[in-house]
Structure 1
């Protein structure tokens, strides 16, 4: 079967699945789509109070649509930019979502997963859910999509084979793909709870670190997977200071200068995750669902940093992926200590024992 025929076959199957999913309730539909595109968020989002779970699930699906456009190998940079800008307008209610769906879906390549194809087919339904939220919630989601779409486009036309220029530029990238999500979640949390809203400004600042810490951890974990596809998100200045040129980056080289640069980035990510703990502790102890939502992500990130630190010569993300046992332990400890600030501080200190620590200053571009 040639590529064009295979793509049409997959598109037809995605349309059939989407038509079947259309009969589901809003909550069931979003749970179904999340299970397909992110099992992690399909697990964590249901821990939130129902009044928050629905907009947060919708927000993740909106962000995943942007990711799908940005990752689509069949689209050139101009097409990606155009579709992302159109999707931002659709999210705000300025354009018809069906027109976007009908233009984008036929262009998806065979590399696009069935779950992502189905998500694209269901853009009109996802957007209908978005437009049913309260105005402050809709604004938070639309603002997040607009900034993410605009920011990710900034990096589309770049030669990323040999890394980003600096740690500051890495922070800017982390903001566009994760920090802006932290801001959006904080706005949703504050809309949900006046007690949380009392700490709004401090939470918004710490949310940037939360997002940057998680994204830096993902960048380090996926280092060699990205390298295989000709992309490097590491900052050249950090490695140059250690005496290593990222143009020489090869799996299995064992260069101690590279390991020194890696340790520095682990330390920065660890610093951001310390700020993430402060963020979590500002959530009232009685909001156990929101605390668990934050703690699961935070705990799994710290354990991932530990694996990377212990195995700096890893050559694939599978080698530093935390085990299911570690995930279950993170969940159990979070549930046990979720209402105890002292206990959570002690657990975090224990989990981060031995990790390097560097100053962590979150980056927010001037949009």
Structure 2
């Protein structure tokens, strides 16, 4: 493909579909930008396919598996036909023009994938395969969005596994990309850093699950484990009733404590990056700050299960967090103090039960 077409795919289109994550992508060191940006585009396309409720789940699953096969290098006629169908059938059902264009650009994205260095291509294929496994889990586990039914994950282990499939694996991929393109960044063994990176991703996904819980419940998806709900006399369906927010607060407390423990690992991950690696530090710091601010809003939201009262960080506040971090990115003491103060504020509002609920 032409240089201009590649630049458009990994530039303007990526910016329009990646929303706040583009801040992180834009500040990444140049060697990491293309493989990470392409992995995001392919995963975002897969997510769009999986979430297009106007198409029946079985059809979405078929197309999702075809995309996974194509990313994995399958160029058979059946697979490539499915890719062309995505550009027509699925793209035509998108309300947002950028989502439509993303699906229409899948052929171009696969061409860029073929142009990556061998190691980068393998890494992108691996991360897309894992992420689409998480999406496949959603389609196989939960009912159709308009069925009126609701299904919950069975227990905390299932939730932990799910957060790895849809986000923890990104921390693993990110770390491998850093070690490959910026060798010497970390002093510790790669396995140690990868483990923290996995927890980094899990922290962000748990935050998203808690923030979006009310909306997910309305389409039949309960990521709050049934075993936790049962301990407090709750069922997934009961979470959609008025007043459910206060009844389910102990579950919120337990899962937020787990998220905070993961965020501490994420902070350790970030501070292991040398202070002179400003771009890489900022790329890690921003998701932590935005995620913690989301938890701070959640813990103070007495109606956190009301879909009309989502705990979402405003765009202006995101800009303030970005500005503040850029001014302090090289000062470990200041940054640690900032992160710890935010965590302590959240823990104080969670109450003493949070300490026993946290995981190491």
Calculate the TM-score normalised by the size of structure 1: 0.85
SS of equivalent to 1:334: helix
Q: 1:325 & 1:78 partners in 2: Cα distance?
A: 40
94 and 38 in structure 1: CA distance in 2 versus 1, 3 angstrom threshold: same
Alignment partner, residue 194 of structure 2: 204
Q: 1:288 & 1:346 partners in 2: Cα distance?
A: 18
Q: How much has 1:119 moved relative to structure 2? A: 0.9
336 and 343 in structure 1: CA distance in 2 versus 1, 3 angstrom threshold: same
34 and 251 in structure 1: CA distance in 2 versus 1, 3 angstrom threshold: farther
159 and 63 in structure 1: CA distance in 2 versus 1, 3 angstrom threshold: closer
1:67 to 44, 47, 51: 47
Q: How much has 1:126 moved relative to structure 2? A: 1.0
Calculate the TM-score normalised by the size of structure 2: 0.87
Which deviates the most, 49-58 or 103-112?
103-112
235 and 337 in structure 1: CA distance in 2 versus 1, 3 angstrom threshold: same
Q: How much has 1:76 moved relative to structure 2? A: 3.6
Find out whether 1:187 has 2:167 as its counterpart.
no
Whether the 8 Å contact between 1:196 and 1:283 is mirrored in structure 2 is yes
Q: How much has 1:25 moved relative to structure 2? A: 4.1
Q: 1:157 & 1:25 partners in 2: Cα distance?
A: 36
Q: 1:276 & 1:37 partners in 2: Cα distance?
A: 25
Whether the 8 Å contact between 1:222 and 1:317 is mirrored in structure 2 is no
Whether the 8 Å contact between 2:27 and 2:280 is mirrored in structure 1 is yes
Q: How much has 1:158 moved relative to structure 2? A: 1.8
344 and 167 in structure 1: CA distance in 2 versus 1, 3 angstrom threshold: same
Alignment partner, residue 4 of structure 1: none
Alignment partner, residue 313 of structure 2: 322
Runs of at least 5 residues in structure 1 that lack an aligned partner in the other structure: 1-20, 362-367
SS of equivalent to 1:312: coil
Q: How much has 1:251 moved relative to structure 2? A: 5.1
Q: 2:23 & 2:245 partners in 1: Cα distance?
A: 38
Q: 2:308 & 2:43 partners in 1: Cα distance?
A: 23
Alignment partner, residue 230 of structure 1: 220
Alignment partner, residue 164 of structure 1: 153
Q: CA offsets per residue over residues 50-100 of structure 1, 9 Å max, x none? A: 221222111100111111121122444443333223222322323168534
Whether the 8 Å contact between 2:70 and 2:80 is mirrored in structure 1 is no
Q: 2:343 & 2:211 partners in 1: Cα distance?
A: 17
Alignment partner, residue 247 of structure 1: 237
Whether the 8 Å contact between 2:88 and 2:104 is mirrored in structure 1 is no
Alignment partner, residue 207 of structure 2: 217
Whether the 8 Å contact between 2:238 and 2:244 is mirrored in structure 1 is no
Whether the 8 Å contact between 2:278 and 2:330 is mirrored in structure 1 is yes
Q: CA offsets per residue over residues 4-31 of structure 1, 9 Å max, x none? A: xxxxxxxxxxxxxxxxx98844233222
Q: 1:227 & 1:308 partners in 2: Cα distance?
A: 17
Whether the 8 Å contact between 1:238 and 1:264 is mirrored in structure 2 is no
Q: How many residues align?
A: 341
Q: CA offsets per residue over residues 268-300 of structure 1, 9 Å max, x none? A: 111111111111112222111111011111100
Give the aligned CA root-mean-square deviation in angstroms: 2.3
Q: How much has 1:110 moved relative to structure 2? A: 2.9
SS of equivalent to 2:111: helix
Q: 2:341 & 2:273 partners in 1: Cα distance?
A: 22
Which deviates the most, 186-195 or 296-305?
186-195
Q: 1:22 & 1:223 partners in 2: Cα distance?
A: 43
Find out whether 1:260 has 2:215 as its counterpart.
no
2:35 to 30, 55, 71: 55
Q: How much has 1:205 moved relative to structure 2? A: 0.5
Whether the 8 Å contact between 1:152 and 1:173 is mirrored in structure 2 is no
Alignment partner, residue 340 of structure 2: 349
Alignment partner, residue 147 of structure 2: none
Q: 2:215 & 2:70 partners in 1: Cα distance?
A: 33
Q: How much has 1:111 moved relative to structure 2? A: 4.6
Q: 1:52 & 1:191 partners in 2: Cα distance?
A: 9
Whether the 8 Å contact between 2:94 and 2:100 is mirrored in structure 1 is no
Which deviates the most, 260-269 or 102-111?
102-111
